[in-house]
């Protein structure tokens, strides 16, 4: 099969023939139809993000695929089924605190790294092997919509954060990083979950206006100034009611200032969920005042990725129309143009811009808006 191989950090991907993956019990083999390339993929492949990814590796993170073959323990999946291949692979020998790897992408701790050495290769190939529980049935999906469906890999991340916050319909949410690729996805998901209002702080005025035009009156935008106290006050003033939830999705390049300004807007008994990359490349740590947290009974939680059931829930939300994929503007590249696709993703990282690799070739050349 053909694959785009990262042989070492800082070099272009090599388009080459490799052996087809073999599966055993507890595994599924899929043809990879579409995989959404995160805008920061170039930073991962250059080594700038310092991910614990071990080349040589077939990279990528999450995909839409078609089942080729299942292991003997699969009872519901069949060859030909369309599936979402969830990249979040968990170890099976500790249900209370499983190790996690993002197949073909990243991992956490020594256990996650060990797991990644088995489920090593991701979707930048014509075929990939995934754990059975990570092949989630999509049902009937028009082939023309498959590229848009690959945005699941982006949408699931903020959904995991909002589940961790126990977001309830009618609540007010602040999405820190709302003008970014993941943050804007968080805005869409929060609204789909029934948020009464989503406050969107950011520096890019054009993107803030775009969010307002897409989602209407349930969006309130705030242009950040860099003055922490002024920004905090502006976010609180923009919210039509007390802020129930703050979700942070800012990238490693951001400082702690805007995170802190957003966090300090939450009401007593409110919830703060941290999912971004702030501090991963060094810099100041996030300092929240102990007395304020304690006396206001504020919950602060870190969240990496999402629970397994989130896959089924978000798929159901999309199929029902509650979460609308029509916002997704997709540009599709063939596997042979993987390096060009990575460059395109880096240059097109605004909200709802998706760069998709189509390793099987069926979707290449299509543009969807």
Using one digit for the tens of pLDDT, what is the confidence trace for 228-281?
Answer: 999 999 999 999 999 999 999 999 888 899 999 999 999 999 999 999 988 877
End-to-end Cα distance, the chain: 31
Assign 183 a pLDDT band (cuts: 50, 70, 90).
very high
- Segments making up each domain of the chain, as ranges: 2-151+328-368, 158-302
Q: E strands within the chain? A: 2-6, 14-17, 27-37, 57-58, 63-70, 82-85, 88-90, 100-102, 106-107, 127-131, 135-137, 172-176, 197-202, 219-223, 243-248, 266-274, 299-302, 329-334, 353-358, 367-368
pLDDT at position 369: 41
Class of the domain covering 2-151+328-368 = alpha beta
Q: With a cut of 70, say whether residue 368 has pLDDT above it.
A: no
Confidence band (pLDDT; 50, 70, 90) for 366?
Answer: very low
Whether residue 367 has pLDDT greater than 60: no
pLDDT of residue 283: 77
How much is the pLDDT for 282?
A: 79
pLDDT score for 362:
65
- b/e string for 183-206 if b means 16 or more Cβ within 10 A? bbbbbbbbbbbebbbbbbbbebee
Higher-pLDDT residue of 225, 285? 225
Q: Which tokens sit at 201? A: 């702080």
The topology (CATH level 3) of 158-302 is Rossmann fold (3.40.50)
| 23-49 mean pLDDT | 96
Tokens 């920004």 correspond to what residue? 231
pTM of the predicted structure, to 2 decimals: 0.95
Q: Within 13 Å and on the Cβ side, how many CA atoms surround 213? A: 8
- For position 364, what pLDDT does the model report? 52
- 2-151+328-368 matches 158-302 in fold: no
Has residue 365 got a pLDDT over 60?
no
* pLDDT tens readout for residues 216-230: 999 999 999 999 999
On the question of pLDDT at 146 being above 70, the answer is: yes
Of residues 100 and 281, more confidently modeled: 100
CA distance 89 to 98: 9
Q: 187 falls in which pLDDT band (50, 70, 90)?
A: very high
């Amino acid at each position: 099969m053909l694959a785009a191989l990262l042989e070492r950090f800082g070099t272009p991907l090599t388009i080459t023939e490799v052996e087809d993956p073999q599966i055993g019990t507890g595994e599924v083999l899929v043809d990879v139809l579409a995989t959404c390339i995160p805008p920061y993929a170039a930073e991962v492949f250059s080594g700038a993000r310092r991910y614990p990814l071990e080349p040589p590796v077939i990279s990528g993170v999450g995909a839409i695929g078609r089942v080729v073959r299942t292991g003997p323990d699969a009872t519901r999946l069949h060859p030909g089924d369309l599936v979402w291949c969830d990249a979040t692979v968990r170890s099976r020998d500790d249900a209370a605190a499983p190790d996690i790897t993002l197949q073909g992408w990243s991992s956490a701790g020594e256990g996650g790294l060990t797991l990644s050495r088995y489920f090593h290769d991701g979707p930048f190939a014509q075929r990939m092997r995934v754990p059975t529980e990570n092949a989630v049935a999509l049902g009937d999906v028009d082939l023309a919509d498959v590229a848009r469906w690959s945005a699941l890999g982006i949408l699931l991340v903020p959904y995991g954060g909002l589940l961790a916050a126990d977001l309830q319909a009618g609540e007010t949410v602040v999405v820190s990083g709302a003008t970014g690729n993941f943050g804007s996805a968080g805005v869409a998901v929060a609204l789909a979950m029934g948020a009464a209002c989503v406050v969107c702080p950011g520096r890019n005025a054009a993107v803030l206006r775009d969010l307002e035009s897409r989602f209407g009156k349930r969006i309130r935008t705030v242009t950040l100034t860099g003055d922490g106290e002024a920004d905090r006050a502006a976010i609180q003033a923009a919210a039509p009611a007390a802020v129930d939830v703050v979700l942070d999705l800012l990238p490693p390049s951001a400082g702690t200032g805007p995170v802190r300004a957003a966090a300090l807007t939450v009401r007593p008994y409110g919830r703060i969920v941290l999912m971004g990359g702030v501090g991963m490349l060094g810099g100041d740590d996030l300092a929240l005042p102990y007395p304020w947290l304690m006396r206001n009974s504020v919950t602060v939680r870190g969240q990496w990725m999402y629970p397994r059931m989130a896959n089924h829930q978000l798929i159901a939300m999309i199929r029902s129309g509650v979460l609308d994929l029509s916002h997704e503007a997709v540009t599709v590249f063939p596997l042979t143009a993987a390096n060009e696709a990575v460059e395109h993703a880096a240059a097109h990282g605004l909200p709802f811009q998706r760069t998709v690799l189509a390793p099987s070739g069926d979707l290449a050349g299509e543009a969807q808006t």
